[in-house]
Amino acid sequence: MSSGIAIPDEVVDAYQKVQGSERKYQWVSFKIADDAKKVVVCDKGEIGNDTPWEDFVDRALPKDDTRWAVYDFKWQTNEGQDRQKPIMISWLVIHSHFIMIKSSKIKYHLHNAF
């Protein structure tokens, strides 16, 4: 991996539990480990708690650090049909210690790992 940061199986597993057949989480957030060698799971929102978007942002996306997250977004069409789709979020804080170039590489590797 060109970024030098590993994506462990537990990160992939947590992502799959947001959108896969074994759905367990409404959302999962990720960050770079303190040793800067791998991505780790930060926090998870269990299915059934139905975390509103605003609460998810407050809980999973800190104002002072970079995060990635997958959120099972639910909405209703103009025709009244319920829809849902997992969305991948890159939360990049300008004052973060994380370098933007590495961030784009991490997003690429996260996307390919899932």
Write the pLDDT tens digit of every residue in 74-104.
889 999 999 988 899 988 877 655 555 455 5
The reported pLDDT for the residue numbered 63 is 86
Beta strands in the chain (DSSP E): 25-32, 39-46, 67-76, 82-91
Which pLDDT score, from 0 to 100, does residue 114 have? Answer: 60
What is residue 30's predicted lDDT score, i.e. its pLDDT?
A: 94
pLDDT at 14: 93
Q: What pLDDT does residue 60 have?
A: 92
pLDDT at residue 36 in the model: 81
Give the C-alpha separation, 53 to 9, whole Å: 27
**CB neighbours (10 Å) of residue 82?**
8
Task: Return the pLDDT at 101.
Answer: 46
* Tens-digit pLDDT profile for residues 4-48: 788 999 999 999 999 877 889 999 999 988 888 899 999 999 887
Q: What is the reported pLDDT for 64? A: 83
pTM for this entry: 0.75
Rounded Cα–Cα distance for residues 35 and 24 (Å) = 28
